[in-house]
Amino acid sequence: MNENLQKILDEAKTRIAAAESLEDLNDIRVQMLGKKGRITDVMKSMRELPPEERPAFGQMVNGLRQMVEETMETRKRLLAAKVREAKLAAETIDVTLPAKAAGIGHSHPNTIALDEVERIFVGMGYEVVEGPEVEKDYYNFEALNIPANHPAKDEQDTFYINPDVVLRTQTSSVQVRVMEKGQLPIRMISPGRVYRSDEVDATHSPCFHQIEGLVIDKNVTFADLKGTLALFARQLFGEDTRVKFRPHHFPFTEPSAEMDVSCFKCHGTGCRFCKGSGWIEILGCGMVHPHVLEMRGIDPEEYTGFAFGVGLERISLLKYEIDDMRLLYENDARFLKQF
Ligand code: DAH
**77 and 200 housed in the same domain:** no
pLDDT above 80 for 153: no
Residue 281 has pLDDT above 70, yes or no: yes
Residues 81 and 133 in one domain: no
pLDDT above 90: residue 161? yes
Give the tens place of pLDDT for each residue, 128-141.
999 999 999 999 99
pLDDT above 80 (res 272): yes
Q: Is residue 100 part of a domain?
A: no
Å from CA of 103 to ligand 1 middle = 39
Q: Are residues 74 and 182 in the same domain?
A: no
CATH number at residue 255: 3.30.930.10
24 and 172 both lie in a single domain:
no
The pLDDT confidence band at residue 155, using thresholds 50, 70 and 90, is: low
Å from CA of 151 to ligand 1 middle: 15
Same domain, 18 and 74: yes
Domain membership of residue 137 (yes or no) is yes
Do 116 and 84 lie in a common domain? Answer: no
Question: Distance from CA of residue 256 to its chain's centroid?
Answer: 38
Q: In this model, does residue 156 exceed pLDDT 70? A: no
Q: Is 145 in the pocket of ligand 1 (CB under 6 A)?
A: no
Domain count, the chain: 2
Residue 102 lies in a domain: no
Q: Looking at residues 249-278, what average pLDDT do you find? A: 92
Q: Is the CB–ligand 1 distance for residue 284 below 6 Å? A: yes
The reply to whether 14 and 125 lie within a common domain is no
Residues whose CB falls within 8 Å of the CB of residue 32, separated by 6 or more in sequence, listed in order: 8, 12, 38, 39, 68
H/E run at residue 54: helix 54-91
245 lines ligand 1 (CB under 6 A): no
Ligand 1: residue whose CA is nearest its atom 4? 170
Alpha carbons 294 and 119: distance in angstroms, whole number: 32
Q: What is the domain extent for residue 160?
A: 109-336
Torsion angle of the four alpha carbons 8, 9, 10, 16, in this order, in degrees rounded to the nearest 10: 110
Measured between alpha carbons, how far is 107 from 252 in angstroms, rounded to an integer? 34
φ, ψ dihedrals at 322, nearest 5°:
-100, 135
Model confidence over 37-62: pLDDT tens digits? 889 888 888 889 899 988 988 899 99
pLDDT at 101: 84
The residue contributing the CA closest to ligand 1 atom 7 is 284
Q: Which atom of ligand 1 is nearest to the CA of 210?
A: 4
* Residues 74 and 144 placed together within one structural domain of the fold: no
Question: Across all residues in the chain, what is the average pLDDT?
Answer: 93
Tell me: pLDDT of 183 over 80.
yes
Instruction: Establish whether residue 307 lines the binding site of ligand 1, counting it when its CB lies within 6 angstroms of any ligand atom.
Output: yes
Handedness of CA 33, 39, 41, 46 (dihedral sign): negative
Within-domain flag for 322: yes
- Is residue 178 domain-shared with residue 302, that is, in the same domain? yes
**Does a structural domain hold residue 104?**
no
Higher pLDDT, 210 or 202: 210
Pocket lining: 158 vs ligand 1, CB cutoff 6 Å: no
Residue 31: which residues within 8 A CB-CB, separation 6 or more? 37, 38
Over residues 157-176, the mean pLDDT reads 96
Mean pLDDT of 231-249: 96
> If you average pLDDT over residues 292-321, what whole number do you get?
96
Binding site membership of 109 for ligand 1 (Cβ less than 6 Å)? no
Quote the pTM value.
0.72
Q: Is the pLDDT reported for residue 203 higher than 80?
A: yes
Eight-class DSSP state of 100: P
Cα end-to-end distance, the chain, whole Å: 88
User: Is 192 or 264 the better-scoring residue by pLDDT?
Assistant: 192
Question: For a pocket test of ligand 1, which of 150, 177, 250, 313 has the largest count of ligand atoms closer than 8 A to its C-beta?
Answer: 250
Tens of pLDDT, residue by residue over 77-96, are 999 999 999 999 999 988 89
Pair 188, 268 in one domain = yes
Q: Is the pLDDT of residue 152 over 80?
A: no
In short, whether 311's Cβ falls inside 6 Å of ligand 1 is: no
pLDDT of residue 267: 85
The percentage of residues in the chain with a pLDDT greater than 70, rounded to a whole number, is 99
Cβ 253 under 6 angstroms from ligand 1: yes
| Whether the predicted pLDDT of 107 surpasses 90 | yes
Verify that 216 and 293 share a domain, yes or no: yes
Residue 269 has pLDDT above 80, yes or no: yes
pLDDT for 105: 85
